[in-house]
Amino acid sequence: MGRPIGIDLGTTYSAVSMLGEDGTPTILPNREGGRITPSVVYFQDDGSVLVGEMAKRSAAVNPLDTVEWVKRHMGNPDWRFEAPNGVVHTPESVSALILKRLKEDAELYLGDGAVRDVVITVPAYFDDAKRRATKDAGRIAGLNVLRVLNEPTAAALAFGAEKERDGTFLVFDLGGGTFDVTVMNIRNGVLDVMGTDGLHELGGKDWDDRVMIWLNREFQAAGGPDLMATFEDEAMLRDRSETAKRTLSQALTTKVPLSAGGVTRTLSLTRDTFEEITSDLLNQARDMTISLVEELGLGWSHVDQILLVGGSTRMPAVPRMLEVVAGRKPQVAGNPDEVVSLGAALQAGLEAPGRDDTPPLVVKDVTSQGLGVIALDADTGQERNFTIIPRNTKIPAKRSEGFSTVVDGQTEINIRVTQGDDDDPTYVKLIGTQTIEIPPYPKGAPIGVEYAYDIDQIVFISVYDYSAQTLITSFEVTNDANLSADDIDDAHDDNRNTEVN
């Protein structure tokens, strides 16, 4: 069966870890010897693909055949990518190619059999569709996904297991494409998540985008053409912008050489300017962090440590902002690029059947999204979103709500499943619908709707006929973003036959 592994499937970089014989998680290097692998896929004309560093290098010269930041598209039913050989890929199938590469690298390093069991991490604020898509990607890659684990929880798991410290921790997780903030308490071997919030489209890429806009404007002002006009020039600009951002984490100024349309210029970008043009992005993360602490009824004196997770926390403005807000310096939770993967390996040791590699902490996580149903409000006669399982409820969770038919002889009800905590249906996300037949009862016949979140925050619904005291039906949430079993099987066959280098 092989040994269970933990995978941090990141927006920009991914990492793989496994428990050693002594129960300590360690990073498994990829085939080039690197400890992290770029989450980039380059599709070649012959149907084979490059994943990782070579694919990232190819993005600058072959941008139309390269996929980056696919994690931002997980759960999006409208996103498709057509490879040069005509094969159309979903976010799940592209992510599966990254997972296949990580799986094969782990097998190559271990040299003792196939890797199958895995825990994959996701942003805490991922919704049902994105979590299902992540699990589907694992299945397409031939993996048995034991658990989908929240990234801040994984980081705290690795930190808590290593430091053996109790207390209340705030995990500030700013990665390449997503942001999460989570508050948790560690006491007597139990990691108890108190609350979480986040944005699935706020990360280092957004800082890169601001640098791109600034450099492009300055280049045009210096007589150069619009670098956004061609895919090739834009890819070059993005590469230079990311490099500039990384340099400014260490230096106060950087030189950026740009060349296009016969014009060559070297522009100077200072850290002060960089922080000025990206200040609103950092403010979004700041405001969400303050809001979560207040929502949980805590003061900053109740937070024992602030842990930095994710490569984008290396930007000096991040720890400086947190020190101003909290009144104390944050602490780096190990290597920001690796700690999530290490925590996933610890959880894999707990989840894998027949394993004795039990991590020293028990995890009690929470829902990152409220779960509700749209129905008529008896008092107003208007549609309203009824939250059945509020955000930050301990998982697994199961709760129910009673409703009633609205007309005599009603023969069906439409269950509209939502994520979000607002009463107004306009401000919540509809994640699935199901029309259910019922007996033609008089108006006011009682109907029960029971919602459940499993440990992966996947949604399940049961509908009860209270008049007959019977279960009418149970179903999982499905929508256009979910792949069917046949889709997954077909994608798995394609994945298995695709050469990944």
Maximum separation of any 2 CA atoms in the chain, in Å: 79
377 classed as catalytic: no
103 classed as catalytic: no
State how far Cα 429 lies from the chain centre. 17
The encoded tokens of residue 84 equal: 């040069």
112 classed as catalytic: no
Look at residues 471, 383, 376, 371 and name the one whose alpha carbon lies nearest to residue 425.
383
Give the pairing of strands 5-8 and 117-122: parallel
Which of 56, 71, 130, 135 is catalytic? The answer is 71
Which of 68, 105, 117, 151 is catalytic? The answer is 151
SS3 481: coil
Residue type, 389: I
Annotate 424-454 with b (16+ C-beta within 10 A) or e (fewer).
ebeebeebbebebebeebeeebebbbbbbbe
DSSP notation for 283-334: HHHHHHHHHHHHHTT--GGG--EEEEESGGGGSTHHHHHHHHHHSS--EE-S
Question: Do the Cβ atoms of 153 and 177 come closer than 8 Å?
Answer: no
Question: Do the Cβ atoms of 469 and 453 come closer than 8 Å?
Answer: no
Question: DSSP strand E in 62-113: where?
Answer: 66-67, 81-82, 88-89
8 classed as catalytic: yes
Cα separation, 340 vs 359, in Å, equals 15
Cα separation, 458 vs 299, in Å, equals 32
Which of 65, 173, 337, 338 is catalytic? The answer is 173
Q: Mind telling me the catalytic residues?
A: 8, 71, 151, 173
